[in-house]
């Protein structure tokens, strides 16, 4: 497989994982995916991203805080998944357990006054992080639902003066997630070549 085929495979095979094995994640692997996350492009090369990596010690407290964010997203879930109540119960379970992930990464940016660009830079880093995790045999899930509990999460982590972007449970996958369909790709591009 050449480099491009390999990249295509990594991009297409990456999934959002919501069930994890108890197996711990090697610190070197976490360091590697954070290193690659920080190779993302960033506005004016400011690299405003910031990561907090949480393991066993603070996990119970953070799970408790994050579980509360489920109520904030419930009405939207009920609207979007009215036909598919199983998604709602699975989401509730995931928000309450984080899929038993042994590691959770909290992604922040340090604001420069240009939130629009700082946020996009942090998101570019997140995508690098997810792809790198997948390439190393790990699973992860980009979650913004918990950001509803930003103040409480920051208090629990002792973080100040940073903006929470996402919460990413990370671990060895316990299940192979289904492949969610890509929708109307042909309608999402206007060609003006
Ligand atoms: C900005 C963003 C926010 C997301 N927030 C959540 C979340 O709060 N909870 C969750 O379970 N999944 C969340 N996801 C994961 C999406 O549900 C998932 O990417 C989508 O269903 C496609 O599945 P795939 O990642 O396996 O391709 C989020 C994804 C993105 C990009």
Q: Tell me the best of 69, 130, 143 to mutate to test the pocket of ligand 1, counting ligand atoms within 8 Å of each CB and taking the most.
A: 143
In a domain, 185, yes or no: no
Which domain covers residue 92, as residue numbers? Answer: 3-175
Q: Which residues contact 171 (CB under 8 A, 6 or more apart)?
A: 17, 20, 21, 23, 25, 99, 100, 101, 102, 103, 138, 139
CATH number for 92: 3.40.109.10
In a domain, 180, yes or no: no
Counting the structural domains of the chain, the total is 1
- pLDDT 10s digits, 107-152: 999 999 999 999 999 999 999 999 999 999 999 999 999 999 999 9
* pTM (predicted TM-score): 0.97
Q: Residue 184 C-alpha to ligand 1 middle, in angstroms?
A: 18
Residue of the CA atom closest to atom 4 of ligand 1: 143
In a domain, 188, yes or no: no
In a domain, 15, yes or no: yes
In a domain, 186, yes or no: no
- pLDDT 10s digits, 20-39: 999 999 999 999 999 999 99
Chain centroid offset of residue 88 CA: 19
Helices (H), 38-84: 56-67, 70-80
In a domain, 184, yes or no: no
In a domain, 111, yes or no: yes
């Amino acid at each position: 497989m050449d480099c491009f085929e390999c990249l295509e495979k990594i991009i297409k095979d990456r999934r959002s994982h919501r069930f994890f094995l108890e197996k711990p994640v090697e610190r070197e692997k976490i360091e590697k995916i954070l290193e690659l996350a920080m190779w993302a492009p960033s506005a004016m090369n400011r690299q405003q991203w910031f990561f907090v990596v949480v393991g066993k010690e603070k996990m119970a407290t953070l799970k408790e805080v994050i579980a509360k964010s489920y109520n904030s997203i419930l009405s939207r879930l009920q609207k979007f998944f009215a036909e598919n109540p199983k998604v709602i119960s699975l989401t509730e379970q995931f928000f309450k357990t984080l899929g038993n992930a042994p590691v959770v990464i909290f992604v922040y940016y340090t604001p420069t006054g240009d939130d629009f660009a700082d946020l996009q830079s942090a998101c570019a880093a997140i995508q690098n992080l997810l792809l790198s995790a997948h390439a190393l045999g790990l699973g992860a899930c980009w979650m913004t639902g918990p950001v509803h509990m930003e103040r409480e999460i920051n208090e629990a982590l002792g973080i100040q003066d940073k903006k929470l972007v996402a919460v990413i449970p990370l671990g060895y996958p316990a299940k192979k997630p289904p492949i969610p369909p890509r929708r109307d790709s042909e309608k999402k591009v206007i060609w003006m070549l």
